[in-house]
Amino acid sequence: MNIQAQGWWEQDCYGRQTMDPLLLDFVDGEVSGSGNDIVGPFTMSGVIKDGNVAIKKHYVGQHDTDYIGQFDGEGTMQGKWHIHEMTGPWMIHLRGQVGGRHRDCGGDQEPADIRQI
C-alpha cells in the first residue's frame, strides 16, 4: 500500500529541496517508491534492517543517488545522500496511507471523527 511521505535533501548549491509528491511502499524490510523534486521524477528502492536504511534513488533518464541513514521506528528516516564524492543531509517523514488508514498517530487506526470527541 502506498504511504504518503514528505521529504527533503540539501546540497550547497541548491539549498533544501523538497521531494513532492513522495509515495513509498514497505514490504518485508524492503522499501520502494516514487516522487518528484527539482532534479526531476525518480524512483526509490532499498532496504531497512535493524534501524538502518539504504535506498537508491534513480532519476529517470539521469543519475542515481545513494541514501544511507537510520529509521527511528516512529515514521522518520534521515541520513546522508551520496553521489560519488558529493554528499549532504536528507530526511523523509511518513505521513499516512493513500486511501487507507492514518499513520501519524503511531498506529494503523482510522482518523478520529471530530464529532465523537
pLDDT tens for each residue of 48-97: 999 999 999 999 999 999 999 999 989 999 999 999 999 999 999 999 76
**What architecture (CATH level 2) is domain 3-105?**
Beta Barrel (2.40)
Bridge partners of 106, per DSSP, are none
Average pLDDT, the chain: 87
User: Which H helix or E strand runs over 13?
Assistant: none
Tell me the three cell numbers of residue 103. Answer: 499513520
Query: Of 1, 58, 68, 10, which is closest to residue 35 (Cα–Cα)?
Result: 58
